[in-house]
Amino acid sequence: MKSKRRVLILFGTQTGNAEDVADRIGRYVTRMHCKAQVININDFPVTSLVHESLAIFVCSTTGNGEFPDNMKSFWKFMLRKNLPINSLCHMNFCVFGLGDSSYEKFNVVSKKLNKRLLQLGAVELIPLTLGDDQHELGYDAALDPWLLKLNNILKEFYNLPDSFIPQDIPLPPKYTVKFSEESSPLNDSAIYDRNTSFPLATLKRNVRVTADDHFQAVHLLEFGIDSDVFYDSGDVVVVWPENPPAEVEEFLLLLNVPSDTIFTLTPSDSNISLPKINPYPCTVRQCASSYFDIMSVPRRSFFEIFRLFNQDELEKEKLEEFTTALGQEELYDYCNRPRRTILEVLKDFPHTTPHVPFEYLFDMIPSIRPRSFSIASSLQAHPQEFQLLVAVVEYKTRLKKPRRGLCSNWITGLKPGATIPFSIKNGSIMLPESDVPIILIGPGTGCAPFRSFIEKRALSTIGDNYLFFGCRYKTKDFFFSEEWTKLCEKKLLNIFIAFSRDQEDKIYVQHRIKENSSLMWDLIQNKNAAIYIAGNAKQMPQGVKEAFLEIIKKEGSLSQEESERYLRTLENMKRYQIETWA
């Protein structure tokens, strides 16, 4: 195997970051005169690992320490108890993890994978390296020195020459493009093939549920679905957004290709699969609407390819700076800090953009990723329907144009009657099988999955539901207040509310939890209550955890160490579950 100079690079990702890093590693390896094979870990037969001599794993951690969807079957196989401890003794490996240190279980997926590979006898070439999205340089802060180590490892492993394919020579693109001789009869920007395998949901109602003068718009959207679609409380809806039409037109004007002519793609390597464009074959316009994520912030890998086609000395100098280790602070200041989009960058370099061959855009621009939303309704209470509670993302930076979240603005801009494809997947939290009390902590849109919990249990007249809800103002963003009030009157819900801005001192859900210390302890210790937390990952989950630790320590007369052990036991028993997002 060594003589083939082949490096297997497997990526496990939910958002696409790991794929981008894997592609960048692949290009680096290729320039070292090695054969790089970059594969989605879901598409690789795990039993073939025994035949690999060198494998690189790039994997991200999602949610509260969850494996990304495309790694779950792989990981399930890796945990088989009947795997011999020397299964992978012929494989050398290294793991590069992607995570966010603001989450409690930072990079836990890469840590678990690294440990399991060692248990199965694989040989670690580079110590586990953890990329942190919170670093001001992002994952590059860890990736740059890691690549230097990889360079030395590969030279020794394959006895490589010191020569390196020059950085100013473009590597072959992933795909070659062939345009049809005829224009598409579908001369519109419809982005989905109606013969898609995904079910369709029809928007029935779209209403803003925050006051008009509130700083944030939050919408409740009700979608009709077919009777054969099933979901359970705690499940998640996955949708595929599209780019705004005006920005799509701006993008098309920058390209020197026919916008409304159908094209097809041919992979440059048999191991490369076609991108998941829908519909396909399609026009450039349809691809720009549904596939290219032109509204995302470009990564360093974008500039590594983009700079190769410049036709202007000033632009060349700036683009080359962005691809060096020393230029990363400048790149961060240009892209990440103001959240500048790929479309805006392409417009900023008018002497380079027109010269980029269309096929290279598939190497430069990531695909639009599907977005997940906790379902805010129970199927039992709303047959043939699911509801979503969506906060519209919009904020200002130093750039003149406000930054807008792609999916939240797209989906809340839909009109009744619009149809969208969707899928259902299991959430990271689920109701207990028994009728034990449940303690729900869901400030803001974090209350969405808990509404589905409460609706389902209320229909079965299960009243031991304790909801801690937080928002800014009682009159502006108190979601579902009327229906929750009615459930309280029926003794089917107990609600504790924290309005953080309705008084001089800010009050949050963790304060309400501590105010009800003895009740919480009685529910947890004597009635086997399950605790659920959902919402923003930044500060709330840690504040809530500290509140429960304080209650356990005080009411249970335990030490700090004993209290932490008690809470870990609840986690292991699935009686303390968290679903958070950045």
Question: Would you say 290 is a known binding-site residue?
Answer: no
Residue 14, annotated as binding a ligand: yes
Q: Please list, residue by residue across 396-434, b when 16 or more beta carbons sit within 10 angstroms of its beta carbon and e when fewer do.
A: eeeeeeebbbbbbbbbbeeeeeeebbbebeebbbbbeee
60 is in an annotated binding site: yes
- Consult the annotation and say whether 377 binds a ligand: no
Asked if residue 102 belongs to a known ligand binding site, the reply is yes
Establish whether 371 is an annotated binding residue: yes
CA distances from 27 to 87, 299, 579 (A): 29, 15, 35
Question: Could you please report the per-residue DSSP string of 13-73?
Answer: -SSSHHHHHHHHHHHHHHHTT-EEEEEEGGGS-GGGGGG-SEEEEEEE-BTTTBPPGGGHH
227 is in an annotated binding site: no
Q: Any binding-site annotation on 508?
A: yes
> Is 65 marked within a binding site?
no
Nearest to 307 by CA among 168, 143, 166, 165: 168
Q: Is 500 part of any known ligand binding site? A: yes
502 assigned binding-site residue: no
- Annotated binding-site residue? 501: yes
Name the pairing type of β-strands 419-425 and 200-208: antiparallel
Q: Is 528 annotated as a binding residue?
A: no
Q: Is 376 annotated in some ligand binding site? A: no
Q: Which helix (H) or strand (E) holds 477?
A: none
Strand blocks (E) in 354-481: 371-374, 385-391, 394-395, 403-404, 419-425, 438-441, 465-471
Q: Does 188 show up as a binding residue in the annotation?
A: no
Find out whether 63 is annotated in a ligand binding site. yes
DSSP H helices in 389-430: 406-412
Amino acid at 283: T
Q: Is 373 annotated as contributing to ligand binding?
A: yes
3-class DSSP string for 302-361: HHHHHHHHCCCHHHHHHHHHHCCCCCHHHHHHHHHCCCCCHHHHHHHCCCCHHHCCHHHH
Residue 13 marked as a ligand binder: yes
159 marked ligand binding residue: no
Is position 506 annotated in a ligand binding site?
A: yes
Is 133 one of the annotated binding-site residues? yes
> Around Cβ 339, how many Cβ atoms within 10 Å?
17
17 is in an annotated binding site: yes
360 is known to lie in a ligand binding site: no
- The answer to whether 581 is annotated as binding is yes
Is position 307 annotated in a ligand binding site? Answer: no
532 annotated as a binding-site residue: no
26 marked ligand binding residue: no
372 is in an annotated binding site: yes
Which residue in this structure is represented by tokens 């005829």? 182
Q: Are strands 465-471 and 438-441 parallel, antiparallel or unpaired?
A: parallel
CA distances from 531 to 84, 225, 238, 523 (A): 38, 31, 25, 10
Q: Is 408 annotated as a binding residue?
A: yes
28 a known binding residue?
no
Q: Has 369 been labeled as part of a binding site? A: no
Helix axes 560-572, 540-555, angle to 10 degrees: 120
- Annotated binding site for FAD: which residue ranges? 339, 371-374, 405-408, 581
- Annotated binding site: which residue ranges? 13-18, 60-63, 98-107, 133, 339, 371-374, 405-408, 445, 500-501, 506-510, 581
- Annotated binding site for NADP(+): which residue ranges? 445, 500-501, 506-510
- Annotated binding site for FMN: which residue ranges? 13-18, 60-63, 98-107, 133
